[in-house]
Amino acid sequence: MTHTVLSLEERIENQSGLRANETQQAIAVRLSRSPSAIRAKLKRNASRDHYGAQSAHRAAHERMGRTRRGYCAIDQMPPLRDAGHAYLRRGWSPEEIAGTLKLDHLDTPHMHTSHESIYRDVYVVARGEL
């Protein structure tokens, strides 16, 4: 699933288009965005009869801020970290490691991770060593 980020100017265009009773399709064409992206943003940020560009923009940035860049949950789980690092030392790719861990530990979800988390862990560890 791809997430599109709208600028404040695009959100203001959404707001003015809705107030002028334009369709979501027409707004999407004017902004060169897909209609589904406009529909999703309006659904997420609009009350039943009102869409506020400023409040929608602020809410979107608050949601984006929830992810902590540079944070890696693998470091918080030593058995997972140790297993991942052992596979990395053997030359396995993060995709192979994530898949193998899920298969080897079907009943222990704390030993499951994504390849993105493994890449992030490698990046954070490497950055700290430079």
Inter-residue contact 28 to 37 (CB < 8 Å):
yes
Q: Long-range contacts of range 45-52, CB-CB < 8 Å, 24 or more positions apart?
A: 46/18, 51/14, 51/15, 51/18, 52/15
pTM for the model stands at 0.48
What is the domain partition of the chain in residue ranges?
8-64, 73-129
- At residue 22, the pLDDT reads 92
Supply angle C-alpha 38, 10, 41, rounded to 5.
Answer: 30
- At residue 130, the pLDDT reads 40
- Per-residue pLDDT, averaged over 110-129, amounts to 77
* Digit-coded pLDDT (tens) for 48-102: 678 888 888 888 877 776 555 555 678 778 899 899 999 999 999 999 999 999 9
Res 1 pLDDT > 50: no
